[in-house]
Structure 1
Amino acid sequence: MRRDQVLVFDADDTLWENNVVFERVIADFLRWMEHPTLDTAGRRAVLDEIQAANALTHGYGSRMLVRSLGDCVASLRGRPATAAEIDGINELAAVLIDHQVELVPGAAETLAQLSTRHRLFLLTKGHVEEQRRKIDSSGLAPLFEAVEIVPEKDDATYRRFINAYGLTPAASWMIGNSPKSDILPARRAGMNAVFIPNDHTWVLEQTELDRSDTGVLHLRALTGLVGHF
């Protein structure tokens, strides 16, 4: 166990459950949006492609999903979504606004223990107001030296973050569930990383990791951090 390191945490699906709620909305939408030739997997593929495009221009979060569902209706129906269909989408997505933050098991206790011997930061991407609401609801903010909400977590984001807080990359660890946003860009920026998989990680955040990369620690649960840091 090494002390006085920098631990940078992802938020959604690392400290609290998030995408599982999005997946429930998507499952309800796909059942509702029947198609004469496309099965559920085919309709999901259309939606995934639309979300990937919308994320580039509209960011992440519930607003992007609602927009994507409307665009998916237009794509599958060959016409703009009707007012009734938009109302149906908003009804399906209402749970995203009302959803209460559910911390992963041991999150608060783990962070509290780690904060006694390391510098902790929170780095999350998404819509600022939406992410701020979840952070405030979690009650975890006081445990972090700083909290940043960014539109994207790419190589440039991590390099800027390192410079902004005067971090030593070799003594810094990015901790998260997303290979695409948490692990790979942090490694390219020179940081170490801890990969904690979540069964509900968004499909567009998934990609293969090199298991031979000694700069990535693989853990089964967040609570496992206290045995390494």
Structure 2
Amino acid sequence: MRRDNQVLVFDADDTLWENNIRFERAIEAFLDLVTAPGGDRLAARSELDRIEAANARTLGYGAKVFGQSLAECFALLRQREAERAEALLLAELAASITSAEVELIPDVAETLAALAPRHRLLLLTKGDLAEQQAKVDNSGLAHHFRSVHIVPEKDLAAYHRLIGEQELLPESTWMIGNSAKSDILPARGAGLNAVFIPHQHTWVLEDAELDPADSGVLHLSAFAELGEHF
């Protein structure tokens, strides 16, 4: 049964457009740089994940923080600071995640166009303000949303602020995203409904366990399926 006149709050990265795959490509190039032939790439990746998690808690997200994490991991694994040529390469890898055009996930544009006349659409994304706004501007999707919200972290407090600022009714509001950690669990904690659309390249640090018995979470396999429910 399709629900009408709902508030649909959309995540951006890896829900509306590709994002983490760019990080993964940069990380593979980084591992090529720091891992000797036959070396333990998994151990090196584990160190990078640990450093990224620590930096995300204190510094946030985006290309600049990612570049700092690469430099810190390089120094740890090589037991020295990067030389000039190496530092330039690390900077190029960090810059690569923001240099490409926005690549929309299949059926996103068409589905949003169909949903917008029937519902109130909002966008909620976390990360560096300038980087996220640039992606919103370049996506060609901004006109579908009544408002765009870019926050440092999508935690419980962020959802409570959104509910208050936008005067949302939790029972008719749905958070839609690919991250169990940032999109689904805190939204449910704030009393919102949620739609989980997994992405094969979701950042490993966004993984979290969902309760399969939670009736407030709708599980879909593709973005276009939203049109069947809303």
TM interval, shorter chain, is over 0.9
Counterpart secondary structure, 1:175: strand
Structure 2 alignment gaps of length 5 or more? none
Give me the TM-score of the superposition, normalised by structure 2.
0.96
- How far apart in 2 are the matches of 1:12 and 1:97? 12
Q: Distance in 2 between matches of 1:170 and 1:37?
A: 54
C-alpha distance in 1 between matches for 2:92 and 2:64:
13
Q: Secondary structure at the match of 2:71?
A: helix
1:35–1:76 CA contact under 8 A, matched in 2: no
**Other-structure match for 1:167:** 168
Q: Per-residue deviation at 1:38?
A: 5.7
2:194 equivalent to 1:193:
yes
Structure 1 CA distance, aligned partners of 2:52 and 2:36? 19
Cα distance, 1:115 vs structure 2: 0.7
* Deviation for aligned residue 1:45: 0.4
- Segments of structure 1 that go 5 or more residues without pairing to the other structure are none
The reply to whether residue 153 of structure 1 matches residue 127 of structure 2 is no
Q: 2 CA distance for matches of 1:49 and 1:36?
A: 23
| 1:176–1:195 Cα contact (<8 Å) kept | yes
The size of the alignment, in residue pairs, is: 229
Separation in 2, partners of 1:194, 1:135: 21
Work out the CA distance in 1 between the residues paired with 2:52 and 2:42.
15
- Map of 1:1-229 to 2, 5 A cutoff? 1-34=2-35, 39-229=40-230
**CA separation in 1, counterparts of 2:81 and 2:105?**
39
Pairwise CA distance, 1:96:
1.8
1:58 Cα offset (Å) = 1.4
Q: CA deviation at 1:37?
A: 9.6
TM-aligned CA deviation for residue 77 of structure 1: 1.9
Q: What letter corresponds to residue 222 of structure 2 in structure 1?
A: A
Contact 2:34–2:78 under 8 Å retained in 1: no
* RMSD across aligned positions (CA): 1.3
Q: 1:31 to 1:91 in 2, by over 3 A?
A: same
Identity of aligned residues (%): 58
Q: Deviations over 1:116-158 (max 9, x none)?
A: 1110000000001100111011011110000010000000000
Change (3 A) 1:37 1:105: closer
| TM-score, with structure 1 as normaliser | 0.97
Deviations 1:159-218 (CA, angstroms, capped at 9, x unpaired): 010000000011100000000000000000000000000000000001111111100000
